Structure 1
Amino acid sequence: MSLFKKFVTVGGGTLGSRLMGFARETMMAAALGTGPMAEAFYAAFKLPNLFRRLFAEGAFNAAFVPLFAKEIETGGIDGAKRFSEEVFGVLFTVLLVLTVVMELAMPLLMRTIIAPGFEGDKYDITVRLAAIMFPYLACMSLTAMLSGMLNSLHHYLAAAIAPIFFNVAMIAALAYGIWIKADGVTIAYYLSYAVLVAGILQMLVLYFGVRHAGMSIAFRRPHMTPNVKRLLLLALPAAVTGGVTQINLIIGQAIASMKEGAIASLQYADRIYQLPLGVVGVAVGVVLLPELARALKSRHMVEADSLQNRSIEFVLFLTLPAAAGIFALSDEIIRLVYERGAFHPDATVTVAAVLTLFGFGLPGFVLNKALTPGFFAREDTKTPMRFTMISVVVNSGLSIALFPFFAERGIAAAESIAGWLSTIMLFIALRRRGHLNIERPLVTRAIRMVIASVIMAVAAHYMAAYFSDYLRSGSHALTQAAVLLPIVFASFVLYLAIVFAIGGADIGMIRRNMKRRGKAAQAIPEDPA
């Protein structure tokens, strides 16, 4: 299967999940707006969701996948099965202990880290919601392990579609709450139980996917074997690195809890920009890591360089116009997706401003996903961790400095700047070590992609201004959709026309570069430095 087809498989499944996420967030906005129960739910969900991101996108994709792939190469399926069972026994035990400890510590964590600005009933409800949802962490951590196994076995679909079940459960809970006209507190509880159910469903989907791929997992008594120790040594810094965005969001949320409505505003904007970040970034990160690890293990350095260049090119080709579109149409997008029910026009202005600032950081966040596999595939998780910690410090300092003046806008700006800083440091480190050789055609095409994206953004802005009477507050949602969606489509078509016309991309390049180059790759020993 070509690299492009693998990106499409993972990205397509993620796209389906993110589109359903839009439907979920639209219903959330209508039911709860930016009010106290929306903030209570989002604050309570932040802790288990943080761990989910750390495990699913950090530790297991960074540490487990290369080691599992190595076991397949050296010990075959039997060796990989034995390794996975060793990991499962330790992981299950650790998660059980962690869940108990975190449940007991939940009031303290909420007061000091998650939402220090919450008080009274809002604080009490948030603690109870978090206690209901935290076991979701255990389900999703095991799901992450199963997902890593499937990706290493070249079975991408089950892992890509599993998140859809999360949105199905959430939408069902919202629909039932709205149908019976439940109050905000009741809907928040429904959503919390739906999160737990969704975690169980996703774990079962991945388990049956692994069985379908020809492997089974049995529980083994926890034992610190050499392979498990190696995994843990790699996983801890990888978890921190993979969760840089989530760590920054936790910091931002703690600060935002000091202002009513700020947490919800950040969450609603985050949902929009997570669409391109998830579809492109997660697809590239999930597919690139096992492919790059396999090329390096086989000493195919030319193939490794090609994989990284193609991934960066794929990221820029799609995220530059996405960021430009966010700049040009943030108000119109937020108004169409959220502005109804309890979500008022003044909230649209605030959330749109936050989304614009997130859009500035979008290419940096996605490039981060394409660069970190260059370290993880070489079993180096400490270097990205150091860069992550620097970016977290910068994010914290900027958030604290900007919040008194710009509120949630300051937090969004701090997160975007910190994301770009992390990406730049990763890029420089890879270049200095000789692990990333940027091809000259990639540089020239990237410049042309930027030009095409700027032209597209200007065109989208003027099209929206021309049809502003149909896109303003108070217009029917169907009217807004009938006007905005063609504008988005026309803008992207314009981008494609320009980028192909000026040489930023061509059909032959896409067809040629997205094919695996294993046969043509030369086996060159890696520089030990």
Structure 2
Amino acid sequence: MSLARKFATVGGATLGSRIFGFARETFMAAALGTGPMADVFYAAFRFPNLFRRLFAEGAFNAAFVPLFSKEIEANGVDGAKRFSEEVFGVLFSALLIITIAMQLAMPWLVRWVIAPGFADDAEKTALTVRMAIVMFPYLMCMSLTAMMSGMLNSLHHFFAAAIAPVFLNVVMIAALLYGLWVGADPREIAWYLSWSVLVAGVLQLGVVYVGVRHAGINIGFRRPKMTPNVKRLLWLAVPAAITGGITQINQIIGQAIASGKEGAIAALQYADRIYQLPLGVVGVAVGVVLLPELSRALKGGHVKEAGNIQNRSIEFVLFLTLPAAAGLWMLSDAIIRVLYERGAFSAENTAVVASILAIYGIGLPGFVLIKALQPGFYAREDTKTPMRFTMVSVVINSGLAITLFPMIAERGIATAEAAAGWINTILLFSTLVWRGDLVWEWALARRTALLLVATGVMAAALFYALPYASPWLQPGSHLLTQVLALACLLGIAMVVYFACAFAIGGADLGMIRRNIKRKPKSAVPPPAES
């Protein structure tokens, strides 16, 4: 199966999740706007999300997948099953302890870490504490989900793991619709959303568990024991957990700073949801598929093949994210107005969120390239180097956010995150090249330059097209008219970019087919596709 098809499988499922995410945020904008209840809910939800990235997705995508792949290569499915049971016993026990400890410490955490800006409002602080306690067990569900997703990805069963996140958005949308239907006030709706997060976590865990059973592995509970394999996993997972949660770490820092201004947390979240679409569809797809592919190639001694896979992934990322970044910059105001401006979400909210989205657009290629570069370290069982670079970017993000927030408010936090993301990308790329793990290709550099030219042409086309579409994008226009006008602008952008990119040689169909497609060379044939 080609990398393109694997990217499409994961990216397609992720796209479905992001579309439901858009619907969720649209309902939330209408129900809560950027008011105090929106700030409370997002502040409480960010914390379990942070730990999900730190202890679940980052750690297991980086540490568990290479070791699980090695067990499959060395000892077959039986060895992989034994290893997964050892990990499951330790992980379940550790998560139970962490969950209880964090819930007991939640009042202190909210006051000093999650939202110190709420300290002067006792009611706001108390609500944040209670909602965070309700949602924190979501971490336990999602950490176990991440482990089983890593197993499915290593076994070439990508769909179940990719589709599971859809359930979070579906359940939250159901909670929002129920709240709007019964005429609940913002405080009641925030409570419905908090409980829906916990319900969604249980459903996601159920989906991947069924997927693992379908893949031929039935996980049983073993008494927690620090076996050599588990010790190796923990040795790799601790730095990987920090690295994998870089975006969430920077966002929690930004949230703590933004909590000093009412509405700032919600504004950052609404913009974040938009740029998460290309970040999720491209970045998550590349990260999920690339790590097991690189691990398998390197374990089989196919070093040249591994280098080719890495470069083709970088090429794929740039081909799709450069125009997406320019589109977010040029169309930020129109996108926010069409998606959010109704109900409690005002024109003033649109101006603020659109400015944040434009800045996130600048950082988008860097954020996605991190997903394509980190597997080059993880597949070689090096999780410490990306962790060091992550810490550098966290320091830069913190310093810039603290400096810029008093001057340009929410835009300062977005600027800090974008700058930190690009610095992390540069450090990862230069280190891989310096070590010889990433072969420099002048052909790739040339195509990148040509893709930048095509992106510039696309941005110019949007600049001239926007005044003609502007009358149909105004708040007084019918929603369908606004959607059609925005769709026309996006269509123009896509036609101009792809036509220019192929015309000047930034991309060609033969190159894409030749470079992305590959045949597996592992000694042990992979399991059948799900």
Q: Following TM superposition, by how much is the alpha carbon of 1:59 offset from its aligned partner in structure 2, in angstroms?
A: 0.4
Q: Following TM superposition, by how much is the alpha carbon of 1:56 offset from its aligned partner in structure 2, in angstroms?
A: 4.0
After TM superposition, the structure 1 = structure 2 runs for residues 141-160 of structure 1, keeping only pairs within 5 Å, are 141-160=143-162
Answer whether contact 2:300 2:522 (CA < 8 A) is retained.
no
Aligned to 2:38: 38
Q: What is the rounded CA distance, in whole Å, between the counterparts of 1:210 and 1:328 in structure 2?
A: 43
Q: Secondary structure at the match of 1:372?
A: helix
Aligned to 2:334: 332
Letter in 1 for 2:89: G
Q: What is the rounded CA distance, in whole Å, between the counterparts of 2:55 and 2:456 in structure 1?
A: 36
Aligned to 2:10: 10
Q: Following TM superposition, by how much is the alpha carbon of 1:162 offset from its aligned partner in structure 2, in angstroms?
A: 0.5
Letter in 2 for 1:174: L
Q: What is the rounded CA distance, in whole Å, between the counterparts of 2:411 and 2:506 in structure 1?
A: 33
Q: Which of the numbers 115, 125, 148 marks the counterpart of 1:123?
A: 125
Q: Following TM superposition, by how much is the alpha carbon of 1:472 offset from its aligned partner in structure 2, in angstroms?
A: 1.8
Moved more, 494-503 or 435-444: 435-444
Letter in 1 for 2:51: F
Letter in 2 for 1:176: Y
Answer whether contact 2:3 2:517 (CA < 8 A) is retained.
yes
After TM superposition, the structure 1 = structure 2 runs for residues 173-212 of structure 1, keeping only pairs within 5 Å, are 173-212=175-214
Q: Secondary structure at the match of 1:260?
A: coil
Q: Secondary structure at the match of 2:437?
A: coil
Letter in 2 for 1:399: A
Aligned to 2:286: 284
Q: Following TM superposition, by how much is the alpha carbon of 1:473 offset from its aligned partner in structure 2, in angstroms?
A: 2.4
Letter in 2 for 1:107: P
Are 1:500 and 2:495 counterparts? no
What per-residue deviation string (whole Å, max 9, x for no partner) do you get for residues 46-88 of structure 1?
Answer: 0111111224431000000000000001111110000000000
Q: What is the rounded CA distance, in whole Å, between the counterparts of 1:364 and 1:323 in structure 2?
A: 10
Are 1:431 and 2:433 counterparts? yes
Answer whether contact 2:454 2:500 (CA < 8 A) is retained.
yes
Letter in 2 for 1:180: V
Letter in 2 for 1:385: M
Q: Secondary structure at the match of 1:435?
A: coil
Q: What is the rounded CA distance, in whole Å, between the counterparts of 1:176 and 1:152 in structure 2?
A: 39
Instruction: Give the aligned length.
Output: 521
Aligned to 1:106: 106
Aligned to 1:419: 421
Answer whether contact 1:237 1:385 (CA < 8 A) is retained.
yes
Q: Secondary structure at the match of 1:299?
A: coil
Letter in 1 for 2:164: A
Q: Secondary structure at the match of 2:183?
A: coil
Answer whether contact 1:361 1:419 (CA < 8 A) is retained.
yes
Q: What is the rounded CA distance, in whole Å, between the counterparts of 1:334 and 1:181 in structure 2?
A: 25
Are 1:81 and 2:76 counterparts? no
Q: What is the rounded CA distance, in whole Å, between the counterparts of 1:391 and 1:341 in structure 2?
A: 38
What per-residue deviation string (whole Å, max 9, x for no partner) do you get for residues 125-174 of structure 1?
Answer: 11111000000000000000000000000000000110111111000000
Sequence identity percentage:
69
Q: Which of the numbers 392, 399, 402 marks the counterpart of 1:400?
A: 402
Q: What is the rounded CA distance, in whole Å, between the counterparts of 2:476 and 2:343 in structure 1?
A: 12
What per-residue deviation string (whole Å, max 9, x for no partner) do you get for residues 393-442 of structure 1?
Answer: 00000000000000000000000000000010001111111000022211
Q: Secondary structure at the match of 1:218?
A: coil
Aligned to 2:527: none
Q: When the two structures are superposed, what TM-score results if normalisation uses the length of structure 2?
A: 0.97
Letter in 2 for 1:85: E
Q: Following TM superposition, by how much is the alpha carbon of 1:467 offset from its aligned partner in structure 2, in angstroms?
A: 1.7
Q: What is the rounded CA distance, in whole Å, between the counterparts of 1:90 and 1:49 in structure 2?
A: 21
Answer whether contact 1:303 1:517 (CA < 8 A) is retained.
no
Answer whether contact 1:329 1:461 (CA < 8 A) is retained.
no
Q: Following TM superposition, by how much is the alpha carbon of 1:520 offset from its aligned partner in structure 2, in angstroms?
A: 12
Answer whether contact 1:303 1:518 (CA < 8 A) is retained.
no
Q: What is the rounded CA distance, in whole Å, between the counterparts of 1:345 and 1:428 in structure 2?
A: 43
Q: What is the rounded CA distance, in whole Å, between the counterparts of 1:19 and 1:347 in structure 2?
A: 22
Q: Following TM superposition, by how much is the alpha carbon of 1:302 offset from its aligned partner in structure 2, in angstroms?
A: 1.0
Aligned to 1:164: 166
Aligned to 1:526: none
Q: Following TM superposition, by how much is the alpha carbon of 1:474 offset from its aligned partner in structure 2, in angstroms?
A: 2.4
Q: Following TM superposition, by how much is the alpha carbon of 1:519 offset from its aligned partner in structure 2, in angstroms?
A: 5.6
Q: What is the rounded CA distance, in whole Å, between the counterparts of 2:49 and 2:520 in structure 1?
A: 37
Answer whether contact 2:236 2:382 (CA < 8 A) is retained.
yes
Are 1:242 and 2:244 counterparts? yes
Q: When the two structures are superposed, what TM-score results if normalisation uses the length of structure 1?
A: 0.97
Moved more, 445-454 or 139-148: 445-454
Answer whether contact 2:167 2:200 (CA < 8 A) is retained.
yes
Aligned to 2:453: 451
Letter in 1 for 2:174: A
Answer whether contact 2:314 2:372 (CA < 8 A) is retained.
yes
Answer whether contact 1:55 1:144 (CA < 8 A) is retained.
no
What per-residue deviation string (whole Å, max 9, x for no partner) do you get for residues 314-359 of structure 1?
Answer: 0000000000100110000000010000000000000000001111
Letter in 2 for 1:273: Y
Q: What is the rounded CA distance, in whole Å, between the counterparts of 2:460 and 2:341 in structure 1?
A: 25
Q: CA RMSD in A?
A: 1.1
What per-residue deviation string (whole Å, max 9, x for no partner) do you get for residues 443-477 of structure 1?
Answer: 11111111111111121122122121111222222
Answer whether contact 1:464 1:484 (CA < 8 A) is retained.
no
Aligned to 1:296: 298
Letter in 2 for 1:191: L
Q: What is the rounded CA distance, in whole Å, between the counterparts of 1:493 and 1:28 in structure 2?
A: 33
Q: What is the rounded CA distance, in whole Å, between the counterparts of 2:326 and 2:147 in structure 1?
A: 36
Q: Secondary structure at the match of 1:154?
A: coil
Q: Following TM superposition, by how much is the alpha carbon of 1:40 offset from its aligned partner in structure 2, in angstroms?
A: 0.4
Q: Secondary structure at the match of 2:105?
A: helix
Answer whether contact 1:328 1:458 (CA < 8 A) is retained.
no
Q: Following TM superposition, by how much is the alpha carbon of 1:487 offset from its aligned partner in structure 2, in angstroms?
A: 1.1
Q: Secondary structure at the match of 1:117?
A: helix
Q: Following TM superposition, by how much is the alpha carbon of 1:518 offset from its aligned partner in structure 2, in angstroms?
A: 4.5
Aligned to 1:57: 57
Q: Following TM superposition, by how much is the alpha carbon of 1:4 offset from its aligned partner in structure 2, in angstroms?
A: 0.4
Answer whether contact 1:284 1:311 (CA < 8 A) is retained.
yes
Q: Which of the numbers 306, 325, 339 marks the counterpart of 2:308?
A: 306
After TM superposition, the structure 1 = structure 2 runs for residues 325-364 of structure 1, keeping only pairs within 5 Å, are 325-364=327-366
Q: What is the rounded CA distance, in whole Å, between the counterparts of 2:441 and 2:393 in structure 1?
A: 28
Answer whether contact 2:458 2:493 (CA < 8 A) is retained.
yes
Q: Secondary structure at the match of 2:117?
A: coil
